[in-house]
Amino acid sequence: MGAYVLRRLALIIPTLFGIMLVNFAVIQFAPGGPVEQVIAELTQTGAGATDRFAGGGADVQGAGAGGEGSGYRGAQGLDPAFIADIERQFGFDKPPVERFLLMLWNYARFDFGDSYFRSASVIELIGQKLPVSISLGLWTTLLAYLVSIPLGVAKAVRDGSRFDVWTSGVVIVGYAIPGFLFAILLRTLFAEGSEFFPYFPLRGLTSPNFEELSFGAQVLDYFHHIALPILAMAISGFAVLTLLTKNSFLDQIKLQYVATARAKGLTEARVLYGHVFRNAMLIVIAGFPSAFISILFTGSLLIEVIFSLDGLGLLGYEAVLNRDYPIVFGTLFIFGLIGLLLQLLTDLVYVWVDPRIDFESRET
């Protein structure tokens, strides 16, 4: 198993290289880069804004056709030296290949640089937003698994019964409702300011006096704040995981080894949880990394906006809009690395759940 782990770890390097290369190439053709963002702001705010971007070292208004031929929209009338100074600050005075290689060298040392438009480093910004996204992703995934796996097992055991039919209807309806609509409904009914049941806070992960509370009160306050967003994010995940668990159990229950175990006189609970469960859970475990990554990094944007939570989803969205490339590429690198490591962790859990699996004999 050690050799397999080493091969997978070695594959992370070319995989990350491919991810970064493709996205870097796409960005080169995307209009409205950071230099154009600054130019657009300058044309709206006037010459006084030059101190922010170029230290006031160049005149905004050039003579004649200043800025023409620079390749940037809205650059007409700006001094070419001033535009060149902006390019130098953003690193765009270098050719794309050199910028890409320099970025890889910095990322290999986990140096992600500073944000273009925020007075903080990328690592600092991610550290500030990470607790929100970790809270949403971890507890949402945990809630989905804690509810869906027992429910899926119960549906498999009672396949075709009235319980199976009405629970299928409930989870499918929940899946059909977009998470953000359910979030709006929860906010309207139960959040602060509601005319109905204003029992839950609307902003942040904790109360302003969180540090003054006892440990038990802090735990209650934390879950009091995240209850609504977690429920809104988890509701659509119940259906897929529940039906996946049910179908996986049904496939295993029909196999010969289950009939043999029952013929030996084993109790139904021993058959289900001592034999079937271990085999049926393999396919469910396989989906954990992708589910966690999806919830953690992509599925929480609208939820964060609705419940006023400042997490990684909102940070990444604003970075893309503002063409804040250090944040875009830094988060892409970190999330890609985490995703690849979670995939490796999934394989290790496979072996832990079922020692008969041997990855050593597989070609990586």
pLDDT in tens, 198-225: 888 888 888 888 888 888 999 999 999 8
Instruction: Catalogue all structural domains in the chain, each as residue range(s) with its CATH number.
Output: 123-353 (1.10.3720.10)
pLDDT-derived band of residue 361, with 50, 70 and 90 as boundaries? low
pLDDT in tens, 116-134: 888 889 999 988 888 888 8
Per-residue pLDDT for 284 more than 80? no
| CB count in 10 Å sphere of residue 307 | 25
pLDDT in tens, 296-315: 655 567 888 888 888 887 88
Look at residues 310, 321, 316, 325 and name the one whose alpha carbon lies nearest to residue 116: 325
Ranked by mean pLDDT, the top range of 23-37, 152-166, 236-250, 290-304 is 152-166
Both tokens of 332, joined, read 């892409």
Whole-prediction pTM value?
A: 0.72
221 and 207 Cβ atoms separated by less than 8 Å: yes
How many angstroms separate the CA atoms of 288 and 244, rounded?
12
